[in-house]
C-alpha cells in the first residue's frame, strides 16, 4: 500500500546512504540494500531507442529528448512515499536558482522505474513540480515518463542505477540522486543525495553541452573548479586559483604602469621649435 511511514523513513535514510558511487563498499548494509546504489558509468551511452509513455499517454522514444540540449535525468517512482519527492524537490530548488531554463538551455527528464505506474500519475507529478518550479513558460522542457519492466531495466542498467522491489511492503529500496547527460545521451555527471549545489548543476550542464551554453564567468569557474566523481561535486583546484590570481595581478599591474606612463607623458614639457 506504500503508506507505512516508519518503513518509508527507514528506506529514505538507507537511500541516502547508498546514493554514493560504487567506489564505496556496500558491504554490511542490511538485506536487499546491499543491491541498491549508483554504479558510476561516466561516458556511458543511454539506449535512446527505448520506448516509454509520456504524461499525455503518447508512445515516445528517449531519442526525442536528445540531440540539441543537455538533459537532467531523475529516476524516481511517483507513488514513492518519501525519498523520491525529496529528490525532485531538491532538484527543483537547485534549478530555480539557475537562470538557465528547461526547453531553452536544457531538458528535464523524469522517468518512473515502477512498471505499474501510469501516465495519469506522471501527469499529476508534472503538474505538481511545475507549480513548485513556478516558471510556466518552461512546461515544454519538462517530461515525465512511465514504461514497462524491460525498458526500465535497460535504462537503469545503462546509468548504473540499482534498486530493489520489496513485495511484502510494495515499495522500492533505491538510491537518491540525479544525472546530467550530454545532448548525445552520454552520462556526464552524477549528483548524489537530495540536495544539489546550484553551481554544480550549472557547471555540469555547461560541460555536458560542450561549453555551448554559459558565460565567460562560467569558463573562469570551470578553470577553478573541477568535477570530483567520488563526491559528485565540483571542488576548487587550488593551483588553478593561484595561477588565475597571479594572472589577474599581473594584468592590473600592467594597466597601472601603462596609465602612469601615459600620465607622465602628458605632463612632459613640449619642445619648442
155-164 pLDDT tens trace: 999 999 999 9
Across residues 205-225, what is the average pLDDT? 75
Dihedral class, residue 3 (left if φ above 0, else alpha if ψ from -120 to 50, else beta): alpha
Across 34-43, 132-141, 168-177, 211-220, the highest mean pLDDT is recorded for 132-141
CB 19 within 8 A of CB 175: yes
Comparing C-alpha atoms, which of 111, 103, 106, 124 is closest to residue 74? 111
pLDDT at 1 over 50: no
pLDDT at 197 over 70: yes
What's the pLDDT score for residue 31? 59
Comparing C-alpha atoms, which of 211, 231, 209 is closest to residue 221? 211
- The half-sphere exposure of 273 on its side-chain side, counting CA atoms within 13 A, is 0
CB 189 within 8 A of CB 225: no
What's the pLDDT score for residue 212? 82
122-155 pLDDT tens trace: 999 999 999 999 999 999 999 999 999 999 999 9
22-33 pLDDT tens trace: 444 445 555 567
Decide which of 175 and 6 is more confident. Answer: 175
Q: Is 250 exposed, middle or buried (0-12, 13-18, 19+ CB in 10 A)?
A: exposed
Tell which CATH classification among 3.40.50.970, 3.40.50.720, 3.30.70.2660, 3.40.30.10 matches the domain 5-211: 3.40.30.10
What's the pLDDT score for residue 92? 97
Instruction: Compute the distance between CA of residue 202 and CA of residue 6 in angstroms, rounded to an integer.
Output: 35
Q: Is 239 exposed, middle or buried (0-12, 13-18, 19+ CB in 10 A)?
A: exposed
239-273 pLDDT tens trace: 444 443 444 454 455 565 556 555 655 655 655 54
Instruction: Compute the distance between CA of residue 135 and CA of residue 142 in angstroms, rounded to an integer.
Output: 11
Across residues 82-111, what is the average pLDDT? 96
pLDDT at 18 over 70: no
What's the pLDDT score for residue 169? 84
34-80 pLDDT tens trace: 789 889 999 999 999 999 999 999 999 999 999 999 999 999 999 99
CB 158 within 8 A of CB 54: no
Amino acid at each position: 500500500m506504500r503508506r507505512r511511514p516508519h518503513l518509508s523513513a527507514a528506506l529514505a535514510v538507507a537511500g541516502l546512504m547508498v546514493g554514493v558511487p560504487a567506489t564505496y563498499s556496500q558491504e554490511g548494509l542490511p538485506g536487499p540494500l546491499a543491491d541498491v546504489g549508483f554504479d558510476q558509468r561516466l561516458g556511458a551511452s543511454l539506449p535512446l531507442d527505448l520506448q516509454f509513455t509520456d504524461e499525455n499517454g503518447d508512445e515516445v522514444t528517449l531519442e526525442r529528448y536528445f540531440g540539441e540540449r543537455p538533459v537532467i535525468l531523475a529516476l524516481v517512482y511517483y507513488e514513492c512515499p518519501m525519498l523520491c519527492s525529496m529528490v525532485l524537490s531538491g532538484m527543483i530548488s537547485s534549478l530555480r536558482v539557475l537562470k538557465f531554463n528547461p526547453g531553452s538551455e536544457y531538458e528535464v527528464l523524469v522517468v518512473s522505474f515502477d512498471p505499474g505506474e501510469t501516465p495519469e500519475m506522471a501527469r499529476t507529478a508534472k503538474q505538481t513540480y511545475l507549480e513548485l518550479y513556478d516558471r510556466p513558460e518552461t512546461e515544454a522542457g519538462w517530461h515525465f515518463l512511465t514504461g514497462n519492466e524491460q525498458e526500465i531495466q535497460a535504462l537503469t542498467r545503462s546509468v548504473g542505477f540499482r534498486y530493489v522491489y520489496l513485495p511484502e511492503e510494495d515499495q522500492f529500496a533505491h538510491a537518491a540522486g540525479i544525472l546530467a547527460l550530454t545532448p548525445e545521451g552520454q552520462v556526464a555527471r552524477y549528483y548524489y543525495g537530495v540536495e544539489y549545489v546550484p553551481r554544480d548543476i550549472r557547471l555540469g550542464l555547461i560541460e555536458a553541452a560542450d561549453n555551448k551554453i554559459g558565460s565567460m564567468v562560467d569558463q573562469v569557474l570551470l578553470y577553478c573548479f573541477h568535477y570530483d566523481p567520488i563526491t559528485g561535486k565540483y571542488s576548487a583546484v587550488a593551483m588553478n586559483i593561484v595561477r588565475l590570481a597571479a594572472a589577474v595581478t599581473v594584468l592590473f599591474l600592467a594597466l597601472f604602469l601603462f596609465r602612469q606612463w601615459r600620465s607622465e607623458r602628458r605632463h612632459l614639457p613640449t619642445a619648442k621649435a
